[in-house]
Amino acid sequence: MSGEVQAAAVLGGLSENEQLDANKPAGGRVRPRRLGLGDWLLPVYTVIAFVFLLIPIAYTFVFSFNDSIKSNISWRGFTFDKWINVCNVEGGAVCEAFANSIVIGLVATVAATVLGTMIAIAIVRYRFRARSAISLLLFLPMATPEVVLGAGLAAQFLAAGVAKDMTTIILAHTMFCISFVVVTVKARVASLDPALEEAGRDLYGSPAQVFWRVTFPLLMPGIAAAALLSFALSFDDFIITNFNSGSVSTFPKYIYISAARGIPAEANVIASAVFIIALVLVVGAQVSRAARQKRLARLG
């Protein structure tokens, strides 16, 4: 509808059908709307971006079924053998590296989540000296390049005479994961309504009871998100791990070393399985959330 016709329709109090009739030309036909640049540019850009992001994942998944021998660069044929016998390559080295990454990720996640949650609660709820300085320093590991963190930690372990093994990897991962936990949980703590905790104290609840029965359940979404983020960062890390791992192999380190001769199909199998599990968890969480909101809407 042209600007003049729309203004006249508004001032004259015309109904929607009358406005559409006023917009028709003399022949009675409605002029087709022309597609502008923005109507097709954004969809095309979205499709290209998704294709660009999904190509490596699709390649990894497809080549996990490749009937390769030593190299997994060229396609040799379709087989399920790599999925069935995933731990048979190189004496089970890929499964050992994957298991190391899982153990390191879980231990580092638990340590970083516990310490980071306590720090976040202390920063938000209490006033003490150097509080602002501590808040600023917690952001430094997030802003510092990983190569600097990895080299600095490696130098410290070397100066202290600490042998590099799985323990040094866990310490390094815990160190840089704490910052992400603090930032995530801190936002959740700041959003809590103090009246809920006051109600618990009014009902003669002890500080421990108020925390575990009121505060902690309310903090659980933020703590769970922080833990998932920490595990993803720890499992995926290569640079800091490479500086502080010594002879211990993790899954990203194994992939990097194997890339020179072609990543084995068994590594593609594990990577594809991790992606599928993560996708199922995300979809399941979204479906559960939607069902819960629908139930609440019916009850309301």
Delimit the domains of the chain by residue range. Answer: 89-265
Average pLDDT of the segment spanning 67-84: 82
Q: How confident is the model at residue 157 (pLDDT cuts 50, 70, 90)?
A: very high
**Tell me, what's the pLDDT at 31?**
62
Which pLDDT score is estimated for 198? 85
Average pLDDT over residues 153-162: 91
Q: How far apart are CA 64 and CA 147, in angstroms?
A: 31
Per-chain mean pLDDT for the chain: 84
pTM over 0.85: no
pLDDT band at 205 (very low <50, low <70, confident <90, very high): confident
Element (H, E) at 170: helix 166-190
Whose CA is closest to 107, among 21, 55, 172, 152? 172
Answer yes or no: is pLDDT of 39 > 80.
no
Instruction: Note the pLDDT tens digit of each residue in 111-147.
Output: 999 999 999 999 988 888 888 888 888 888 888 889 9
CATH 1.10.3720.10 fits 89-265, yes or no: yes
